[in-house]
Amino acid sequence: MNDKYFMDFAIDLASKVAGQTSPNPVVGAVVVKNGEIVGFGAHLRAGEHHAEVNAIQMAGLEKTEGSTVYVTLEPCSHYGKTPPCSDLLIRSKVKKAVIASVDPNPLVAGKGIEKLRSAGIDVETGICQEEANLLNEVFFHFIKTKTPFVTLKTAASLDGKTATSSGESKWITGKDARLDVHQYRHKHDAILVGIGTVFADNPSLTTRLPNGGKNPIRIVLDTQLQIPIDCKLLTDQQALTWIITGCNPPANKTKMVQGLKGVKVLPLATEKVDIEKVLHLLGELGITSLFVEGGATVNESFLKAHAINKVITYIAPKLIGGKNAPTIIGGDGYAAMSEIMELEVREFSRVGDDLKIVSVPKK
């Protein structure tokens, strides 16, 4: 078996724990001795063992000695919440390390590889690098920008409507597509809607998957703190709810809302809710991935802030019509074609009766 064979397994291990390890990256590791897999593991949760530790623990020290370790991310070389993996590989007398992604964390970048080489371990990098980098697009983005990686989720009819002109929207996409959305809620640290969607749908924004899943922190952009006090987000206590407002939300309403369990009011320093400021605030609060579920006004503000890193679009084979029916992106939008946002399609699939398109900004 070649290096790709074993690295594919490590990548598969890492891909299956997406959403669990935040704010850490997902990492998979496989220990191979004389062409036989003797141990494997993934990093399961921030603060717990790294992938290499789990894999070497399964292999045992005897089999690890003289082995080749395949790992999707450069072994760490610093003391974070856990001791350095590069030291562990050296102590365990590993013969060779095959690495997919180099760690962009300034604390680690290249130091882990250097440490291994100077201890006489043969290190090869770049095997399945593209694929492994995609696994950690959120982590790499956050390490670089200290702001969350933003995924915009939209759902519309064939003619681009998100509701009828009378505001009805149940349902445009089918059960399968609506369920598919929940896997993304599980994987994200936070989910964001505008106050308009709260008024229109009284959403719960929780993760409702058959096998359970993590609820993201629910964020509402609500400049004047108009949120209805009896809405699900403030009363269901299913997950934390943070409301981001302009600088002077009404004092008595703020006191009332702030007093609710699991609810925080976060006023910005400016009158208007500026997306750049929202992202920096969320980054400071440790949000590494943000799932934006609209509505049209919020979507446009993210578009204009050039803050969209990925778009998940569900299209239902339905025609709604109506020049006043709402569409995916509202506001003024761009007047000049030269300004519009261009993307490239990364995935195209069917989900039940609907189409699903995953696209990313054109490089």
Ligand X SMILES: Nc1c(/N=C/[C@H](O)[C@H](O)[C@H](O)COP(=O)(O)O)[nH]c(=O)[nH]c1=O
Ligand Y SMILES: Nc1c(N[C@@H]2O[C@H](COP(=O)(O)O)[C@@H](O)[C@H]2O)[nH]c(=O)[nH]c1=O
Asked if 43 interacts with ligand Y (CB under 6 A), we say yes
Q: Is 50 in the site for Zn ion (CB under 5 A)?
A: yes
Nearer to ligand Y, 57 or 235 (CB): 57
Query: How many amino acids of this chain bind ligand Y (CB under 6 A)?
Result: 18
From the list 117, 50, 127, 118, the residue with the least C-alpha distance to 85 is 50
Is 74 a residue of the active site?
no
- Residue 27 binds to Zn ion (criterion: CB under 5 A): no
Cα 221 to Cα 225: distance, rounded to the nearest angstrom: 9
Q: Where are the alpha helices (DSSP H) in the chain?
A: 3-16, 51-64, 85-91, 111-118, 129-135, 137-145, 175-187, 195-201, 232-235, 251-258, 275-284, 296-304
The one among 23, 83, 160, 203 contacting ligand X by CB under 6 A? 203
* Residue 85 makes contact with Zn ion by CB under 5 A: yes
Binds 172: which of Zn ion, ligand X, ligand Y, none (CB < 5-8 Å by kind): ligand X
- 204 near ligand X (CB under 6 A): yes
Contact flag: residue 201 with ligand X (CB under 6 A) = yes
Which entry of 36, 48, 52, 114 is annotated as an active-site residue? 52
By beta-carbon proximity to ligand Y, the closer residue of 108 and 172 is: 108
CA 290 → CA 28, 89, 151, 196, 302, distances in Å? 24, 35, 6, 18, 12
Name the pairing type of β-strands 263-267 and 149-157: unpaired
Q: Any residues with CB less than 8 A from the CB of 138 and at least 6 apart, and which?
A: 22, 148, 149, 288, 289
Please give the C-alpha separations between residue 164 and each of 129, 156, 198, 315, 355, in angstroms, as whole numbers.
Answer: 45, 11, 17, 15, 20
CB of 72 to ligand X, least distance (A): 32
The residue behind tokens 């998957």 is 209
Q: Which residue has the closest beta carbon to ligand Y?
A: 80
Q: How far is the CB of 103 from Zn ion (least distance, A)?
A: 9
- Rank residues 24 and 151 by Cβ distance to ligand Y and give the closer one: 24
Does 73 sit near ligand Y (CB under 6 A)? yes
Report the partner that residue 108 touches, choosing among ligand X, Zn ion, ligand Y, none (CB closer than 5 to 8 A by kind): ligand Y
Nearest to 178 by CA among 189, 170, 168, 190: 170
Taking the complex as a whole, the smallest distance from the CB of residue 43 to ligand X amounts, in Å, to 29
Q: ∠ at Cα 269 (265, 270), nearest 5°?
A: 110
Amino acid (one-letter) located at 306? H
Give me the helix-helix angle, 51-64 and 3-16, nearest 10°. Answer: 140
Q: Which of 7, 31, 76, 127 binds Zn ion (CB under 5 A)?
A: 76
Question: Measured from the CB of residue 141, what is the shortest distance to ligand Y in angstroms?
Answer: 13
Site residues for Zn ion, 315-334, by CB under 5 A, read none
Binding site for ligand Y (CB under 6 A): 24-25, 27, 43, 46, 50-52, 73, 75-76, 80-82, 85, 103, 105, 108
- Residues with a known catalytic role: 52
Binding site for ligand X (CB under 6 A): 155, 169-173, 177-178, 181, 197, 201, 203-205, 293-294, 314
